[in-house]
A = this chain, B = another copy of it.
């Protein structure tokens, strides 16, 4: 197969950027990747074969998923893969190189976009260059379009230049934002025989040309979707007849921020979204709230989660309102393994365009590749999380996020070279 039948990985990234798909809606993205990898003789595990369906977190309502599938169809997703996905996104693609007696190497890239609207003016390069998002309230503002392109680029590079004897497993993970797809993919079974595992991320404050071989110790986190459900009442005529969901929420908010600090390490708590939509004269009967807790390790995160749930439940009880608390997303933490990190560092040093290699650093944020990494480690494999520098003037998750595309071949090079060396 000739590569020329495909767009370059830069063009491929731009195509994804133009048609971004938020978590669990990556139908077009998955299908496009599947289509090329099938041509390249990869064995495909799609949808429920790539993620443990019942472990999925923060899945949008069914009607939104159907709309997303229809959109993917309209926007050129190969029909056959849409059908095979059966409503669940995600792909594990597997191929054996050489005589197949070598190790199993896993590479994880994530595919989902964020729910925010991209800047459309000419000061924003994707807009000026004509590949700005065409989907309102969806945008690749975290570089996952680049990750997916690198994943595909690695397959192309190994096909083209070889140098690896073993089995390559490419994990195209859905729904990383919010920490929703990592857990179910970690339970797919496909990680259990992986000997060496590398996850990657572009940007994260690192300039193009720098590579961090082991970005580790992210904060564990958990996101809760909370709905307090009481009883409305006219606030003038019968205030006592209401069961006030807002008093429950305000009590919860005050006490959530006041969860005791923990002497074992870092903890965090935040409530980002609160919505009560009543007119002024009606006792609020429904309040929605989105909460996030974090911990320096999984135990600290569980401490915060336990306290938060108790506070939320008691606040509802106090004001005699019902409450539903759903887990929207969850991540854990990990420490990278030394051997694989060193292999990455060695590999990176040999890649054109790399001018600095940082052996390891603390990640700061949260990342659900952590579940995949721990799964590999629990089964005796080695894993690391690699930062691929990509200069960008605006921060991740902003409306003007962009990546320097020189980082894409660097990413492909670092990963492919690492695969050859392990």
Chain B residues with CB under 8 Å of A271's CB are 246, 276, 280, 284
- Per the 8 Å Cβ criterion, residues 299-328 of A in contact with B are 303, 310-311, 314-315, 317-320, 328
What's the least CB distance linking A345 to chain B, in Å?
25
What's the least CB distance linking A264 to chain B, in Å?
8
How big is chain A's contact interface, by range? 35 or more
**Contact A240 B262, CB 8 Å, known A246-B274, A250-B253, A292-B281:** yes
What's the least CB distance linking A276 to chain B, in Å?
4
Chain B residues with CB under 8 Å of A277's CB are 273, 275
Q: Are B239 and A270 in contact (CB under 8 A)?
A: yes
Q: How many copies does the complex hold?
A: 4
Interface flag for A2 (CB, 8 Å):
no
**Contact A272 B261, CB 8 Å, known A236-B294, A292-B235, A318-B314:** no
Chain B residues with CB under 8 Å of A315's CB are 314, 318
Interface flag for A210 (CB, 8 Å):
no
Q: Are B240 and A263 in contact (CB under 8 A)?
A: yes
Interface flag for A98 (CB, 8 Å):
no
Q: Are B254 and A250 in contact (CB under 8 A)?
A: yes
Q: Are A366 and B253 in contact (CB under 8 A)?
A: no
| Centre residue among A240, A255, A260, A318 by max chain B CB count within 10 A | A260
For residue A222, which residue of chain B has the nearest CB?
A: B280
Q: Are A272 and B255 in contact (CB under 8 A)?
A: no
Interface flag for A391 (CB, 8 Å):
no
Q: In the complex the two chains form, what is the Cα distance from A408 to B267 in whole Å?
A: 41
Interface flag for A95 (CB, 8 Å):
no
